[in-house]
Amino acid sequence: MKLKFNKEGKSEETLKAYEAMEKDVSIEGALSKDDVSSQVAEELKAIKTQLDDDNPEGLISAIKILRQRLDDIEAKEEKTDAIGYKPTLISKEDFEGLKKAISEGKTNHEILIKAAATITTANFTNAPHSFSYEVDRTINSAPTPEMIIYNRLVKSTTNSRTIYWTNRKNEEGGAAFIAEGALKPLKDWERAEENSVAKKVAVMATLTTEALEDVAQLEQEVNEVLSGEVVQEIADAILNSTESSTALKGIIPVATSYTTTALDDKVDAPNHADAIRAAMLQLRLLRFSPTVVFLNPGDAALLDLTKDSNGNYIKLQIDGVLQKIDVVETTEIAAGKFLLMDERKWKIRIYKGIHSRWGLNADDFSHNRISVVFEARLHSYANSLDAGAVLYGDFATIEAAIAKPAA
């Protein structure tokens, strides 16, 4: 059987392709309507000799044979379409290839027949959103460094770029009990100014307008990330920065270390609690009142797990030794170290709080970009007269200093 195509309204190239395929392509095993009519005629001729008006039994037999032949032909015809082509399943790629072959005027094209199969989730690999799903709008990030010390310290505001204060120094003489008519004792002193200049901390990001328009929650995320960066930098600088014309004064760089106290060489088998207590004594002798000690979580755990010579925990006794101060653990302090403070003596004054500005920078306009700046200005300082109010200690060094020498 030959292929027949509907040529109405087709282009010249398509008609040529159709004509070539009608000429050279045939479908084996298919029946056209003419084929069906021809077979019916042949079957009628084959049984004609069996028909005899005087032989009813022969007539009945012929009718049965004819009915069976028609049933067979009808069943065969049902398996073909209008042009005698048996419908099959072909892949999308083969279908596209067939269309291309026809458009290019090719007279033959191989097609891989795809047998129907069980539908599984693999059928939807190229349509992932066909599966049920949920979008969690939370933007997650790795844990940020702790800011326990910064959050603990008292903060206030100021309207001044520079803060001045005056110290009375180099005092000499003073009041004394004297005899009648004796010379009165003299007292004199000097004044000296100190100051703090606000330092600026800032961060910037540049984004395309397309990113702001297309990415969900991006503006909110920018505000959150950049403001967090500023706060984190402030917290780190207040603890660790060495003061300069652009950098804040940090606590640890100006803190004192343990020197000596009456506990030196007097403590049997000293532990971490003993070392902290010795440092507290040093601050008290300098007329400061320590309020808090910050230490690494590992050293805090050692405090909790300290035992007596019989292996019994003595956490309650250690809490009693350190009851006058708050013990705060934080990863901001290195293992083996601790920071002891009379925290009232350290000043943090906010001159310009964290604020943002959005605008065009350099050639942002010509590149469809926009820039955002987050910044703040603040003071971090302590009076030089209060230098001994902060101690950054080393457990091993202090424990060695206060340990009673072996007999």
| Contact between 86 and 79 (Cβ < 8 Å) | yes
**Residue 20 corresponds to which tokens in the numbers above?**
């070539």
**Residue 185 corresponds to which tokens in the numbers above?**
């004792």
**Residue 283 corresponds to which tokens in the numbers above?**
């601050």
Residue whose structure tokens are 């010795």: 278
Residue 367 is which amino acid?
H
Closest CA to 336 of 398, 262, 259: 398
pTM: 0.70
Query: What does the chain come to in residues?
Result: 407
Task: Say what angle helices 395-402 and 272-285 make with each other, to 10 degrees.
Answer: 80
| Contact between 276 and 340 (Cβ < 8 Å) | yes
| Contact between 172 and 190 (Cβ < 8 Å) | no
Residue 203 is which amino acid?
V
Q: Is 306 helix (H, G, I), strand (E, B) or coil?
A: coil
Spatial distance between the Cα atoms of 295 and 332, rounded to a whole number of angstroms: 8
pLDDT at 333: 98
Q: What is the pLDDT of residues 228-238, one digit of tens each?
A: 999 999 999 99
Q: What is the percent of the chain with per-residue pLDDT over 70, rounded to a whole number?
A: 74
pLDDT, block means (10 residues), the chain with 407 residues: 60 68 53 61 60 55 64 57 49 69 67 73 91 89 93 96 97 95 96 98 97 94 96 97 97 97 95 97 97 97 92 92 96 98 97 96 94 98 96 98 92
Alpha helices in 195-346 (DSSP H): 209-214, 218-240, 251-254, 272-285, 297-304, 315-321
Q: Is 156 helix (H, G, I), strand (E, B) or coil?
A: strand
Count, in order, helices (H) and strands (E) of the chain. Answer: 12, 10
Classify residue 258 as left (phi > 0), alpha (psi -120 to 50) or beta.
beta
Domains of the chain: 12-128 (no CATH), 148-407 (3.30.2400.10)
Spatial distance between the Cα atoms of 352 and 2, rounded to a whole number of angstroms: 89
pLDDT at 85: 46
pLDDT at 349: 98
Residue 8 is which amino acid?
E
Q: What is the pLDDT of residues 173-216, one digit of tens each?
A: 999 999 999 999 999 999 999 999 999 999 999 999 999 999 99
pLDDT at 83: 45
**Residue 75 corresponds to which tokens in the numbers above?**
């069943």
pLDDT at 137: 87
Spatial distance between the Cα atoms of 378 and 201, rounded to a whole number of angstroms: 9
Spatial distance between the Cα atoms of 294 and 327, rounded to a whole number of angstroms: 6
pLDDT at 82: 45
pLDDT at 92: 67
Q: Are strands 292-295 and 199-208 parallel, antiparallel or unpaired?
A: unpaired
pLDDT at 336: 97
What is the gyration radius of the CA atoms in the chain, in angstroms? 48
